[in-house]
Amino acid sequence: MLRITAGEHRGRKLPVPDVKATRPLVERARMAVLDHMRPILAGARVWDIYAGSGILGFETLSRGASEVVAVEGHPRAIRQLRETADLLGYEQRIQTLRIDAHSFLKSEAAVENPDIVFFDPPYKDFKGPRRAEVWELFCNLSRRLNHGGCSVAHTPRGILNSNEMDNLPGLVQRNYGTTSLYWWHY
């Protein structure tokens, strides 16, 4: 179970989909991310790419975001996302897309640029042959941000090299246990 940390559903526990690759961001890191984004959360449009449990999107809605587009390829995760949205009364504020993340920018849901992007691909994608493709997707998603927006990538700790980080000037790394968050502001 995951717990929403603030906002209208503070303290509410949510189920995690029974999907092997789902790896929700630890609560301490989630709170740090969302506290950092507090100035841009009210009315924000959020893209949650590789949404998994959807906890980041649900946290933003609880704190005042206007809408979330949750992109996830696994059918059980999508089913759980929709059930959780119904449970919280967010079914009108979240759009769940069962598509490959690499197809998202070509979809109709990507027409309006986001204020916030969460990017949490499977760790194996950062350690395998898809690494360059996955990082390029994060950079392309980040470049679609509205002015003043913020994007965050969740990766294995310290995985990015300086060449990769240089693709988004001003990218900041913060470590939480065995993971790193890379933040970029437009």
Q: Is 21 within 8 Å of 72 (Cβ atoms)?
A: no
Place of tokens 């927006």: 149
Q: What is the Cα–Cα distance from 159 to 142, expressed in whole angstroms?
A: 18
pLDDT of residue 14: 85
Task: Give the integer Cα–Cα distance in Å for 56 and 68.
Answer: 10
Ranges of the chain with pLDDT below 70: 17-24
Q: Is there a contact between 170 and 185 (Cβ–Cβ < 8 Å)?
A: yes
Residue 1's pLDDT is 78
Q: What is the pLDDT of residue 22?
A: 60
Residue 27 pLDDT: 86
Strands 172-176, 179-185: pairing kind = antiparallel
For residue 111, what is the DSSP state?
S
- Taking only the tens place, the pLDDT of each residue in 70-108 is 999 999 999 999 999 999 999 999 999 999 999 999 999
The answer for residues whose C-beta is within 8 angstroms of residue 105's C-beta and 6 or more apart is 137, 140, 141, 144
pLDDT of residue 15: 78
Q: What is the pTM of this model?
A: 0.94
Distance CA(43)–CA(40), nearest Å, equals: 8
Domain boundaries, the chain: 2-185
Whole-angstrom distance, CA of residue 139 vs CA of residue 133 = 10
Return the bridge partners of 183, or none: 152, 172
Tell me if 53 sits within 8 A of 16, measured CB to CB: yes
DSSP code string of 47-86: EEET-TT-HHHHHHHHTT-SEEEEE---HHHHHHHHHHHH
CATH code for the structural domain at 2-185: 3.40.50.150
Contacts with 126 (C-beta within 8 Å, 6 or more apart), sequence order? 134, 135, 155, 156, 159
